[in-house]
Amino acid sequence: MGSLDGRVAFITGVARGQGRSHAVRLAAEGADIIGVDICADIPSNNYPLATRAELDETISLVQDRGRRMIGSIADVRDFATVRATLDAGVAEFGRLDIVCANAGIAPLSLEQVPIETELAQWTDVIGVNLSGTFHTVRAAIPHLVAGGRGGSIILTSSTAGLVGMGGLDGGGLGYAASKHAIVGIMRCLANNLAAQSIRVNTVHPTAVNTMMAVNPQMMEWAANNPDGGPHLMNPMPVSLLEPRDISDAVAFLASDAAKYITGVTLPVDAGFCNKL
């Protein structure tokens, strides 16, 4: 008997990293999963995104927990595809209860790059992290409302969505701007959906052991950027959280144990945002 028996969750960026971990964790609690991932690279981003093979691996990990998963390729920047994919999943599984808007990128410029590159990084990070989050919730809310059973929307922000950390370049500033803006979406939705018992919260991870944080460019940036050193210095004695540490918070927010928690910015940050 799990805390999410019979429920259905929609997760973006599900092929690897935190998205995969959320899928496996929610499935272990009894949820079926509808998941999407781009499974392709974005040229302005400095590290590879997930692959179809990784998406297939997530599907089999969910199935190993005895749950069903529909995993599809979709770019969260493309609203029509996100909506069509989710609609098809809900038609198959019959309901929607939980939404994890998790897909994200963090493009960086380590040195001076042509302004065209920087502008492309800004456009892409806002497109994926911010517009992608809007597209995800916009596609999901009609299903949650129609279900009449309430629901839980969990938006993945970052410590960079709570404090001023992002450097000077378009990619870093776009990341910080997008993660702060996700809090604005959360607060408006929490107010507007409370009457339907649909809860909306953000999670704010510190650095997590995934490709986004552990790739050569990000490691170099963290070592050299004035913002970057402290980025990996949490007050608690841990430099990188594991994806499952974020999944624990997501599973809690998704569950009835959090049934009156909405409108909350929840740091999962080993004390990072509270430090002096």
Ligand X SMILES: NC(=O)c1ccc[n+]([C@@H]2O[C@H](COP(=O)([O-])OP(=O)(O)OC[C@H]3O[C@@H](n4cnc5c(N)ncnc54)[C@H](O)[C@@H]3O)[C@@H](O)[C@H]2O)c1
Measured distance CA(113)–CA(116) in Å, rounded = 8
Q: Does 156 bind ligand X (CB under 6 A)?
A: yes
Q: Which of 105, 154, 189, 198 binds ligand X (CB under 6 A)?
A: 105
| CB 211 to ligand X: min, Å | 4
- Selecting among 10, 175, 221, 272, the annotated active-site residue is 175
Q: Does 207 bind ligand X (CB under 6 A)?
A: yes
Measured distance CA(81)–CA(29) in Å, rounded = 28
47 is catalytic: no
Site for ligand X (CB under 6 A): how many residues? 31
| CB 5 to ligand X: min, Å | 26
Contact 61, 33 (CB under 8 A): no
Q: Which of 98, 120, 128, 254 binds ligand X (CB under 6 A)?
A: 128
Contact characters 27-46, ligand X, x per CB under 6 A: ---------xxx--------
CB atoms within 10 A of CB 175: 30
For ligand X, give the closer residue by CB, 191 or 274. 274
Q: Does 19 bind ligand X (CB under 6 A)?
A: yes
Where b means 16+ CB within 10 Å and e means fewer, 113-152 reads: beeebbebbbbbbbbbbbbbbebbbebbbebbeebeebbb
Give 31's contacts (C-beta < 8 A, 6+ positions apart): 2, 4, 5, 7, 8, 9, 67, 97, 98, 254
Beta bridge partners of 154: 100, 201
Q: Which of 4, 8, 86, 208 binds ligand X (CB under 6 A)?
A: 208
Q: Which of 8, 9, 18, 143 binds ligand X (CB under 6 A)?
A: 18
For ligand X, give the closer residue by CB, 70 or 145. 70
Q: Does 211 bind ligand X (CB under 6 A)?
A: yes
Beta bridge partners of 69: 33
Residues that bind ligand X (CB under 6 A): 12-13, 15-19, 36-38, 49-50, 75-77, 102-106, 128, 132, 156, 158, 205, 207-208, 210-213
Q: Which residues are catalytic?
A: 175
